[in-house]
């Protein structure tokens, strides 16, 4: 009992210090009988928040004695890369730059540098995402379309092949979001797709997110549109970091994602702060 009280006091102290100096994380020692779902409930965190911060292949099976990291606030960390600006990072998360600045104690004159870790609060994410009013799909990542759906020259062989999705080029570890509400039915490595996720949606369609560097969801998880599910990579058959995004209809036919999404110029739509709802949805 005394040991449990000491552990609780230690955790409270770490949380207090982290809060005083900005959002960070604590190192949690997994004890016999611990379940990740109970831990996130006790710390008021989302499952994807913890999966994104740790290498946990199966959230249902934690090993006693191992350490996991828990953020002291619900949200995600982003490591600044060369050439990044706060405005660009905000676009990657479909967030407002001012929200990120407040969360990280930054001002308009602050300098950010490669390797710096920034915290992106959950409630600021996807407040600037833009859903197609007809299909309710949003863009899964902010980037530049590098290869369209349809016939193209294969980047490896030069032969004419059919491209079953859309490639969106963006830097490694950029966040990837669920394009629509659904249930994760695959979250693993899959041949040329590399690390990939497939989400089944209620209308019978499925979406695939391929070549990921990190998977932040598990099979059976219910996800909401705009929820972070992984990070961009170049695993599998890829020539560089990008997201390969597929939409499959209820008849298992691949469809052109452009028919389901808003125009590329409307990936990110800034709204006035007073009109914003809750993000991370």
Split at pLDDT 50, 70, 90, the class of 7 is very low
**pLDDT greater than 50 at residue 6:** no
Residue 18: per-residue pLDDT: 40
**Full residue range of the structural domain in which residue 95 is found:** 75-128+268-275
Confidence at 273, pLDDT banded by 50, 70, 90? low
Residue 164 tokens, joined: 């079953």
What are the pLDDT digits (tens) for 136-188?
999 999 999 998 998 998 888 888 898 899 999 999 999 999 999 999 999 99
Could you tell me which of 181, 230, 174 has the C-alpha nearest to residue 55? 230
- The answer on 86 and 67 residing in a single domain is no
**Domain-located, residue 133:** no
233/154 same-domain check: yes
The structural domain count of the chain equals: 3
pLDDT digits (tens, 9 = 90+) for 42-74: 999 999 999 999 988 889 889 999 999 999 999
**Residue 127 pLDDT > 80, yes or no?**
yes
Tell me the pLDDT band of 25, cut-offs 50, 70 and 90: confident
Identify whether residues 124 and 183 lie together within a single domain.
no
Lowest mean pLDDT among 15-24, 33-42, 176-185, 259-268: 15-24
pLDDT at 13 over 70: no
Residue 120 and residue 175 share a domain:
no
Q: Is 109's pLDDT higher than 60?
A: yes
Mean pLDDT over residues 115-138, rounded?
Answer: 95
| 57 occurs within a structural domain | yes
């Amino acid at each position: 009992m005394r040991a449990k009280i000491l552990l609780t006091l230690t955790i409270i102290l770490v949380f207090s210090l982290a809060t005083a100096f900005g959002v960070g994380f604590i190192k949690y020692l997994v004890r016999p009988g611990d379940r990740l779902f109970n831990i996130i409930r006790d710390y008021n965190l989302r499952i994807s928040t913890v999966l994104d911060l740790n290498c946990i292949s199966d959230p249902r099976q934690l090993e006693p004695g191992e350490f996991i990291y828990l953020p002291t606030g619900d949200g995600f960390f982003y490591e600044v890369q060369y050439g990044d600006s706060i405005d660009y990072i905000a676009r990657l998360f479909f967030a407002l730059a001012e929200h990120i600045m407040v969360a990280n104690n930054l001002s308009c004159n602050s300098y950010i540098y490669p390797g710096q870790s920034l915290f992106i609060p959950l409630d600021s994410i996807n407040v600037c995402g833009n859903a197609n009013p007809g299909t309710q799909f949003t863009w899964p990542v902010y980037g530049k379309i590098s290869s369209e759906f349809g016939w193209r020259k294969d980047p490896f062989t030069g032969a004419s092949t059919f491209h079953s999705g859309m490639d969106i080029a963006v830097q490694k570890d950029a966040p990837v979001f669920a394009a629509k509400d659904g249930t994760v039915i695959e979250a693993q490595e899959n041949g040329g797709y590399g690390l990939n996720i497939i989400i089944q949606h209620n209308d019978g369609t499925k979406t695939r997110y391929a070549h990921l560097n990190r998977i932040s969801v598990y099979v059976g998880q219910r996800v909401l549109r705009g929820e972070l599910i992984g990070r961009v990579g170049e695993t599998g058959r890829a020539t560089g970091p990008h997201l390969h995004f597929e939409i499959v209809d209820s008849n298992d036919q691949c469809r052109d994602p452009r028919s389901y999404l808003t125009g590329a110029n409307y990936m990110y739509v800034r709204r006035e702060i007073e009109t914003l709802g809750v993000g991370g949805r």
